[in-house]
């Protein structure tokens, strides 16, 4: 059997990764849905305009298109398992089985956070360990077994989302976290407009210098880099689902010059908007 772990086009699983020595991971988004499980350590997770202070046993279910980024803490472990999967592929499988409920959290914009303790946490971690075991197996039926183990995990989680004892509020935030959330929420509502630090300063009644310092400290990126990434992220969505021209999408998401839009888009994605649209149409 090969030492390489099985990954499939529809399913990618990373088990118990530890990023203890990293200061921060960048904001990112992707077309795959994501399951994020927090095993150990300390982490504040920013997803869209929400901030979650995570505890071991917490799991987040999200569609992936929303910008997200973990804030790491120096000297603390950050052990997590992540699953990225093709929502449409598994949706068709579950629909063929007569189940329209298993993937509901991944079809919405807002993430779902669940917290597991005691026996339910042990069961969840057993499911993840079994998924990892199936990932290590070889043979002609390895991929179907891997996908079936993942579907079994989804069905286990399906019985918990929406229940008050597992779906928790975000908890008390620090003042710095509140400041970051205020900035992100303002950008979320106004990223399509002309925005400068002075505009955000005036709206939030907080010095732009303080906003810039706290935002960079908590997220690892500047406010403007986050704003540009939010605009590019929305452009990616529009390029996937809209028939509008690339120039129209440029203006819709808040850029004023198509050349600047193309330059920034390529900085974040590695390709131009036109190349991205062609890839999405051919894929």
**Residue 171 above 70 pLDDT?**
no
pTM as predicted: 0.75
**Residue 1 above 50 pLDDT?**
no
CATH number of 175-282: 1.10.10.60
- What pLDDT, on the 0 to 100 scale, is given for residue 217? 85
Q: Which CATH architecture has domain 11-158?
A: Sandwich (2.60)
What is the per-residue pLDDT across 94-148, written as a single tens digit (0 to 9) for each?
A: 999 988 888 988 988 788 999 999 999 999 999 999 999 999 887 888 888 999 9
Mean pLDDT of 89-98: 91
* Bigger pLDDT: 245 vs 20: 245
The sheet with strand 43-47 has its strands ordered as: 50-54, 43-47, 68-72
Distance separating alpha carbons of residues 250 and 255, to the nearest angstrom: 5
* Bigger pLDDT: 254 vs 43: 254
Task: For residue 85, give the nearest of 4, 14, 158, 166 by alpha carbon.
Answer: 14
Place of tokens 């529009």: 238
What 3-state DSSP class applies to 53?
Answer: strand
Question: Which residue ranges make up each domain of the chain?
Answer: 11-158, 175-282
Distance separating alpha carbons of residues 283 and 276, to the nearest angstrom: 10
Q: How many CB atoms lie within 10 A of CB 7?
A: 14
Distance separating alpha carbons of residues 12 and 86, to the nearest angstrom: 9
């Amino acid at each position: 059997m090969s030492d390489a772990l099985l990954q499939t086009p529809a399913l990618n699983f990373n088990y118990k990764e530890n990023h203890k020595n990293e200061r921060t991971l960048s904001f990112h988004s992707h077309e795959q849905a994501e399951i994020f499980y927090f095993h150990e350590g300390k982490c504040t997770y920013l997803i869209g305009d929400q901030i979650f202070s995570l505890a071991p046993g917490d799991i987040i279910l999200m569609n992936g298109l929303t910008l997200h980024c973990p804030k790491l803490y120096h000297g603390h472990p950050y052990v997590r398992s992540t699953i990225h999967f093709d929502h449409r592929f598994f949706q068709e499988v579950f629909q063929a089985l007569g189940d329209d409920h298993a993937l509901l959290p991944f079809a919405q914009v807002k993430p779902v956070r669940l917290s597991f303790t005691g026996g339910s946490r042990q069961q969840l971690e057993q499911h993840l360990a079994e998924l990892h075991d199936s990932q290590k197996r070889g043979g002609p039926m390895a991929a179907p077994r891997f996908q079936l183990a993942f579907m079994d995990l989804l069905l286990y989680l399906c019985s918990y989302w929406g229940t008050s004892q597992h779906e928790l509020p975000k908890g008390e935030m620090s003042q710095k976290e509140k400041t970051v959330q205020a900035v992100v929420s303002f950008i979320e509502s106004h990223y399509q407009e002309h925005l400068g630090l002075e505009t955000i300063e005036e709206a939030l009644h907080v010095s732009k210098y303080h906003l810039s310092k706290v935002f960079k400290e908590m997220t690892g990126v500047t406010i403007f880099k986050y704003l540009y990434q939010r605009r590019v992220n929305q452009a990616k969505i529009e390029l996937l689902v809209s028939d509008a021209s690339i120039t129209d999408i440029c203006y819709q998401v808040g850029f004023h010059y198509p050349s600047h839009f193309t330059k920034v888009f390529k900085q974040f994605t590695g390709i131009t908007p036109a190349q991205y649209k062609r890839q999405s149409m051919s894929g």
